[in-house]
Amino acid sequence: MATRSKSSQRWLQEHVSDPFVKKAKKEGARSRAIYKLEELIDRDRLLRPGMTVVDLGSAPGSWSQLVRARLGDSGRVIAIDILPMAPMAGVEFLQGDFRDDEVLVQLETMVGDKPVDLVLSDMAPNKSGMDAVDMPRALYLSELAMDFADKHLRTGGTFLIKLFQGVGFDDYVRELRKRYDKVAIRKPEASRKRSPEVYALAQGKRAVPK
């Protein structure tokens, strides 16, 4: 039987003792990530009844779970992930690789002609542990998400995306500032302090980028 590495043992210990993991279990949330989005939604008042929301990188589904609960019976929640996601009432889910053109066409067909009000992206690549590999992969996903928002988000709409600080980060944020009236970088309390992840909140999509 293989023994766990010190890093995996440390992660497991941290995970088990994590207050957000405990809270998610107690409240029936699909993952601790729900509290990252909850903080951002509440702070910046991102949701309104009747909105159409697209959740990129949705599995296991905590963000869609929160958005669906907050919207009640109104609006639409469309989610996609390369991993399976257990069915959820009121959430339209597509399993597939967002990087695949055929899958993207399927997603765009689901969205239809009506512009989206809010695009959420919590996508992240499988990590190799090597920054020289992981950062370009993460940046590529981020660029695809920005392209999707460019095409489907309504003028005035909001784009919230997880980013990793490192090579390409500043350039990406500059591109967001060309496209949106207001861009802020957020680090929710539920985001682990040692993690390089942050969230870029881009509000007020411009009809034409600067």
- pLDDT tens-digit map of 55-102: 999 999 999 999 999 999 999 999 999 999 999 999 999 999 999 999
Does residue 156 register a pLDDT over 80?
A: yes
- How does residue 23 score in pLDDT terms, banded at 50, 70 and 90? confident
Alpha-carbon distances of 1 from 4, 10, 13, 18, rounded to whole Å: 10, 19, 20, 27
Does residue 7 register a pLDDT over 60?
A: no
Instruction: Give the residue numbers spanning the domain of 166.
Output: 6-205
> pLDDT at position 20, please?
63
> pLDDT at position 130, please?
67
Is 122 part of any known ligand binding site?
yes
> Is there a domain that residue 210 lies in?
no
> Is there a domain that residue 182 lies in?
yes
Bond from prior residue into 60 cis (ω within 30 degrees of 0): yes
| Mean model confidence pLDDT for the chain | 89
> Is there a domain that residue 118 lies in?
yes
Mean pLDDT, residues 157-170: 95
> Is there a domain that residue 154 lies in?
yes
97-126 residue pLDDT tens: 999 999 999 999 999 999 999 999 999 887
> pLDDT at position 1, please?
41
Number of domains comprising the chain: 1
Active site residue 162: yes
Please state the pTM of the whole predicted model: 0.87
Is 61 part of any known ligand binding site?
yes
Q: How many CB atoms lie within 10 A of CB 121?
A: 26
Q: Of these residues, 162, 187, 193, 210, which one is catalytic? A: 162
Is 81 part of any known ligand binding site?
yes
In angstroms, rounded to a whole number, what is the distance separating the alpha carbons of residues 206 and 210?
A: 8
Is 112 part of any known ligand binding site?
no
Is 171 part of any known ligand binding site?
no
Q: Tell me, what CATH number does 65's domain have?
A: 3.40.50.150
> Is there a domain that residue 55 lies in?
yes
In this predicted model, which residue has the larger pLDDT, 130 or 8? 130
